[in-house]
Amino acid sequence: IFIELPFLLANLHKLHEGGWVTLGAAGVLFFIMRTWDEGRRNLITRLRAESEPLDTLFDRLDHHKPVRLPGTAIFLTAPRLGAPPSLQYLLKHTHALHERVILLTVLIEETPRVPPGQRIEWTPLGHGFDRLLIHYGFMQSPDLPAALAQARRAGLSIDLSETTFFIGRETLVIDRNISWYQRLRERIYAFMFRNSMRAIDFYKIPPERAVEIGIWVAAEPPEMRTA
């Protein structure tokens, strides 16, 4: 800092000569990126709060057995999530589940590339459920059909022609009982979220094999809001 500080002081006079434009643009970009990062983290926190622990779900399935449909259902979930809201909504409204349910999580690692041999983690959970973790590097593009084909070669019994992907499509609800600044940030995040790439496109999921389930979610968890 002792080396950089003299350079900063020597260039302060350039702020009123147009340097403020660069600083202003950088500040806006930082604000937008920070809003997206915090909004995404808060959304995942909210989804975790609304998820159901798997042990609780399995106990409920033992006492109130739903109709089991032929085929496989894949639910995309966030890391360390129990039964995702999309699964709970489907079970609540249809009282049915597929014979095979896979809770699938895509993890983007802090490395450019993940070797194919380290991509798949598969854990049987019982009650017809499996957890599947798929690892990618930050320079790789997720391709779920290709990853599932690799998982099948590794021993996971799955037929893509009899598989349906269930994807939660969140609609963010803005709380009016918060400060104007926090409400502004939530509106900006909601706008970016609505215009972001859909999970179907990002993960290269065949549209004819996908079902989106609408979920209303508060833009930010109550415990993380400021009055």
Q: Which of 65-69, 73-77, 135-139, 222-226 has the lowest mean pLDDT?
A: 222-226
Residues near 225 by beta carbon (within 8 Å), at least 6 away in sequence? 175, 178, 182
Residues in the chain: 227
pTM value?
A: 0.79
- Whether 130 and 163 have beta carbons less than 8 Å apart is answered as no
- Whether 116 and 150 have beta carbons less than 8 Å apart is answered as yes
Tokens of 137: 């590097």
pLDDT digits (tens, 9 = 90+) for 186-211: 889 889 988 888 889 999 999 999 99
pLDDT score recorded for residue 223: 43
pLDDT digits (tens, 9 = 90+) for 97-131: 999 999 999 999 999 999 988 999 999 999 999 99
Rounded (5°) CA angle 50-218-211: 65
pLDDT exceeds cutoff 60 at 225: no
pLDDT score recorded for residue 218: 74
Split at pLDDT 50, 70, 90, the class of 1 is low
Region 81-89: mean pLDDT is 88
For residue 73, count CB atoms less than 10 angstroms from its CB and return exposed for 0-12, middle for 13-18, buried for 19 or more. buried
Region 119-148: mean pLDDT is 93
pLDDT score recorded for residue 82: 84
Split at pLDDT 50, 70, 90, the class of 220 is low
Place of tokens 């937008």: 32
Residues near 220 by beta carbon (within 8 Å), at least 6 away in sequence? 39, 42, 46, 175, 182, 186
Q: Which of 51-55, 104-108, 145-149, 214-218 has the lowest mean pLDDT?
A: 214-218
Instruction: Work out the mean pLDDT of the chain and round it to a whole number.
Output: 86
